[in-house]
Amino acid sequence: MAGIKDVAKRAGVSVSTVSNVINGRHAKMGARTLRRVQEAIDDLSYTPNAVARQLKSGQIKTLGLVVPSVANPFWGNASQLIEKAALKRGYQVLICNAEREPELEATYFSSLYASSIRGTILGSSPVSFDHLREHARNGMHIGAFDRTTQGAEGVVTCSVSVDQSLGARLATRHLIGLGHRRIGFISGPIGTSSRTARLEGMRQELEKAGLTPDPDLVWLATNATGFGDSQAAELGRTGIRELLTLDDPPTAVFTVNDMYAIGACSGARELGFRVPEDLSVVGFDDIIMAKVMEPPLTTIRQPVEQMAELIVKKLIATLEGTETTDDAHVVLRPELIVRSSTAAPPAPNAQEKD
């Protein structure tokens, strides 16, 4: 309620003087004046209006963060780490849940742009970047997090991700190494680039091992129902039930993320399958839960903390013009974490001749 004018009046000085005090420019100021101003500030419990300040300066130390859903522990965790990294550098973070919907995402971007935010971290989005191209042209700097940036030329300023395809290949290789030949894949709507990369990586590795990917073993939720990530576990459960009731069911399944894996384990158990004795499951992300669930989940770890630190550093450097010599785009290596949800297939595989 109290503005800088009120403070000035109460202290008997000009508005400029108060402004000088607030911004620490009291080097050459009368000690008496300084004290009077500070007292007035305290008395009125005055807080500078950040909005006005920002209008004047044009600057705003806030980053946007667009994620699919903080209800998914992977993104909840990532959000928190990104916020922490930003805070350390004096930036705030505005978290937006886009639910993987392009329109919602576009709306959020407009809103961020209107609020003078010129840097946002994009942690999800449909394969295409077209709906963001205009914002980018108008001065919005976009950093891609955990997703490939194909087709993003001129839109994405910097990016940090994990080699999604490699992750999928590591998972698949692990299962093949255990003796699996029929390996399923479970995912929600495949509309994001990191998801397609994961599926593609798996296919590659299967072919490399001389196996023919069976389209029947790829279970993809349609996004007809508008499912968000909140239902990921539920979808994993549904998916595995359909795969396991096929005539020739898989002996192992690779899921697009750990939430689906958790759901898959649950669904398999409901049908009387034991994990890993009757079905091996590999997830992706290595969320906290993965270590602690039963059985502990074999999964692909993404170095989230490092990724968060990097993307924030890069994006802020871009914003502040402190271009470093670092690469604008880094791709980190994911890591296979072997726990107890994978094992050799139940019996010599009768169906597979090869």
Question: Which residue's CB is nearer to a second copy, number 204 or number 223?
Answer: 223
Question: Which residue's CB is nearer to DNA, number 114 or number 350?
Answer: 114
Interface segment toward a second copy; rule CB under 8 A; list 110-118, 124-132, 143-151, 321-329: 110-118
Interface segment toward DNA; rule CB under 7 A; list 5-13, 171-179, 297-305, 312-320: 5-13
Residue 234, Cβ neighbours under 10 Å: how many? 17
State how beta strands 299-301 and 335-337 pair: antiparallel
Q: How far is the CB of 350 from a second copy (least distance, A)?
A: 29
State how beta strands 62-67 and 119-122 pair: parallel
Torsion 200-201-205-208 (CA) sign: positive
271 binds a second copy per the rule CB under 8 A: no
Among positions 18, 41, 83, 313, the unique one binding a second copy when judged by CB under 8 A: 83
| Residues 11-30: x where in contact with DNA by CB under 7 A, - otherwise, as a string | -xxxxxx-xx-xx----xxx
Interface segment toward a second copy; rule CB under 8 A; list 132-140, 193-201, 202-210, 310-318: 132-140
Which option in a second copy, DNA, none does residue 28 bind, with CB closer than 5 to 8 A by kind? DNA
State how beta strands 119-122 and 156-162 pair: unpaired
Residue 29's nearest CA partner among 50, 55, 11, 46 is 11
Among positions 35, 39, 52, 130, the unique one binding DNA when judged by CB under 7 A: 52
Among positions 27, 28, 138, 210, the unique one binding a second copy when judged by CB under 8 A: 138
Please work out the total of residues on this chain that contact a second copy, with binding judged by CB under 8 A. Answer: 53
Distances 284 to 179, 198, 337 between C-alpha atoms, Å: 20, 9, 10
Among positions 44, 48, 227, 346, the unique one binding DNA when judged by CB under 7 A: 48
CA–CA distance, 296 with 338 (Å, rounded to integer): 9
Residue 319's nearest CA partner among 134, 100, 58 is 58
Question: Which residue's CB is nearer to a second copy, number 94 or number 209?
Answer: 94
Where does 178-303 have alpha helices with state H? 193-208, 232-244, 258-270, 288-292
Helix (H, G, I), strand (E, B) or coil at 161: strand
Residue 161's nearest CA partner among 288, 339, 285 is 285
Residue 334's nearest CA partner among 168, 127, 158 is 168
Helix (H, G, I), strand (E, B) or coil at 144: strand
CB 131 within 8 A of CB 105: yes
Interface segment toward a second copy; rule CB under 8 A; list 28-36, 213-221, 288-296, 331-339: 288-296
Which option in a second copy, DNA, none does residue 200 bind, with CB closer than 5 to 8 A by kind? none
288 binds DNA per the rule CB under 7 A: no
217 binds a second copy per the rule CB under 8 A: no
289 binds a second copy per the rule CB under 8 A: yes
Among positions 29, 94, 328, 337, the unique one binding a second copy when judged by CB under 8 A: 94
Distances 12 to 15, 25, 150, 212 between C-alpha atoms, Å: 9, 18, 61, 84
Question: Which residue's CB is nearer to a second copy, number 54 or number 196?
Answer: 54
44 binds DNA per the rule CB under 7 A: no
Binding residues vs a second copy (CB under 8 A): 1, 45, 47-52, 54-55, 60, 69-73, 75-77, 79-80, 83-84, 92, 94-95, 97, 110-111, 113-116, 134, 138-139, 230, 233-234, 237, 262-263, 265-266, 269, 288-289, 291-296
